[in-house]
Every structure is written in structure tokens, then in C-alpha cells.
Chain A
């Protein structure tokens, strides 16, 4: 078929690499990708037996007309923002942190350790819990980071395997030494009021959103304004060149990876000391993927991370009521996120290529 064909008959698709594209066009393409993803998701939900009007009610009316639901979305977005930041910082140094859930678990374990053994005075209890959570997340990240830097062990697999190990360790604690003595359920005992993030008196919104927005500011400064962020851009785009210029790639990669672990640990603390007010055996589920998704869709920018996190939080809150009223499994939320990511990723093809019909 590929033999010499008379020139006149030749028609074929012709691909070209685009060197650059105006920002508004890029935004249009990503927007269309996201729209296509949402359209497919709506179709999936309708096939699953949720009518269009029900979807409209659940996703728009109930959330944006009811301050209670709106506040639930805001509360839910706090840990999402933090895991999004965690993933983004790691992405910046080309470190695929798939172990966010494991680091969240160890963050929560660190915080619960402080709470359970009543370490420090009551006024300092929350900051101490936060610090221990960061240390826990960091510690759980230390092994894969060092393995990657010293032995080139693939971090995607090592961080992921550590999720399963962390989860089994969590079960060991919750079915063993840290089981709630009051109810004998497999979760930790409830945190005391001074061990919980204070409510902001608007629905169930608590202090966690303040923590998250604080971290956004810190990350913005770190990634966009500071010299550290300037150098990370080079590691992100061409680590060999960065090394040749004298950037201490190994050191900065380690710092970024550990910060990513610390952020993830902190989000474990935020969920435990916020929404859940104790360490449960499922508080972390779904956050790892959502973190990666949020960072990917937001292009590692702390401000866009807030926007995407609000979207995912809406999805999660609406997903909870779909679960109750339409027997749609909660994992569908994950499905929708995956569909959107795939559509947006596929749309980027049109950002980098131009298709022409060549004669």
C-alpha cells in the first residue's frame, strides 16, 4: 500500500508540531477538553439512571442555593487544595508522588499520636499535631525520595507500594492499640475540642480552609517568586541542563519531595482534626488520585489549584448525595475525574500539533 502512488491521488492527514500558540487558544482547547469530559460524565450518569434534571439539582441547585452545602464544598476543598499542592511541588522536580495517601496516613498517625498521648499543653496541642503530621508525611516520603536519588528506584512504584504498607499499618493500629476504647469501633478515640480545627460558624466550615489558603500563599511564594521556584522551573523542564549550570538538582529534588510529603501529611491532619475529628480507616481514600489530577489540570500553579479543587469538592459533595439517593457508588466520583483528565490530556494534542489535509 505504501508503494509509489501517482502524485495526484495522494491525500493524507498531515501532522505538524506547533511551536507556540496564543494563551487564549490554549485556554479554549483545554476548556473544550474539560467540557467534553463533563459531557461524557453526564452521559455515564444518565445511563446509570440519574435523570438530567436530578443532575442539575444535585450539582447546581442544591450546592449553590444552600449555604450548608456550599460550606460543605468549601470544607471538602481544603484537604484537596493541600494534596494538590503536594502533588504540584513534587511534579516540579519530576517526582511522581503517587504515595500521597500513604503520607496522609502517616500524617494522621503523627497527629493522632500527639492527641492520644496528650503531648504538650492544650494551647499548643493543635500546632504540635500539625508539626507531627508534617513530620509523619515527610518520614514516609523519605524512603522513596532517597531510593530514587541514590539508586534510581522508580518512585511511582515505590510510593505506591508504600500506600498499601501504610494502609495495613493503619489497620493494625485501629484494630489494635489505638482502637477507640469508648465504642470499640476500628477508629481512634475522638479528639478533644482543643485538638480539633475550630469551626468558622458558617455551616460546617472549619479552620482547615484557612490552613489550606495559607499553604496556597506559601506555595505561591515558593514556586513563583522565590529563587527556589526559579531553579525548580529549570529542573522541571531540563534537569540535565540545570545540573550543568550548577543547580544542586539532587538537593532541591530531595527538599521538594520532602515538602510534598509534609504537605500530604498536613492534609491527613486537616481531614482527621477537621471533618472527621478522629482518625478513621478510610479518611484518605481518593485523595491521592485527586491530588495528582488537581496538580495536572492546574498545571502546578497554586492559584489554579484552588479553582480545580473547588470543582472536585463539588463533585465529591454531589457524589455523596448521588450515593444516597441514586445508589451510585462513590467511586463514580473518581470515574468522572478520570474522564475529565483523559479528555483534557487528549486535548493537549491539538495544542502541540496542527493537522492539515495535505495533497
Chain B
């Protein structure tokens, strides 16, 4: 895979490094109603997402916490920025393909897993109310 390929050179471009070094809403939502956490055991990347969803299905606040490679963390920051203030329905309609295009840079199949981790966590988070059995389990983990 030639790295002079412009797509490959995009991997560590400014926009991605900016999200990695200065992430959007890294931390925890103080009034989270939904939360989920998952990891890629093979590489150790881990992402936790907190959502505050109002009765109308609007995401009032979204935060993420995590640890891992530049791609996994930058992708989470982009995803949270994209859906903070949006609706649960919009999240449901957001496919893996959409996530890869949101990230932008072309990824090998191995690194696509890093990019899609936060997307998987977000898709589960909307079904994981805090205080429910699953929600408790998700909140119990600390991430880091």
C-alpha cells in the first residue's frame, strides 16, 4: 500500500490530529441518561459515551472518554461533535459507511475497526439507559 497515495497521507492530516489532541467534549455528561462502553480487545482501544437524551428524543449533551490510537480517539471526537444536539433518530440512520466518510481519510480494513469503535458504542448507547441493567454495567467501567 503506497503511502505516497494522497489518501494514505491524509491519515495524519491536521483535521484528524486536531481532533486527537484537542477533542470535542472529552469527559462525562453530568446528567447522562444513557451510556455505553466497549473496546477492541486486540488493540486495546476503549471508548465510553455518555448521552443526555430528552423525552422528545433529542441529544441534549454528548460526551466521550477513551484511550487508544489517534484514529479511534479522533473518530470519537468527530462523532460526538456531529451528534451533540441532534436526535436519536438521526443516530439510528447513521451507518458504518457514513462513519467512515465522516472520518474522511481512507483506512485499511484493520484500521477501520479503530474508526468504527465509537460508532458501535454510540449505536448501543442509545439503547442503554443509565440505571438499567446494561446502563449500570456501562457506567461501572471507568475508562482509563
Do A and B originate from a single complex? Answer: no
The residues of A with any CB-CB pair to B shorter than 8 Å are none
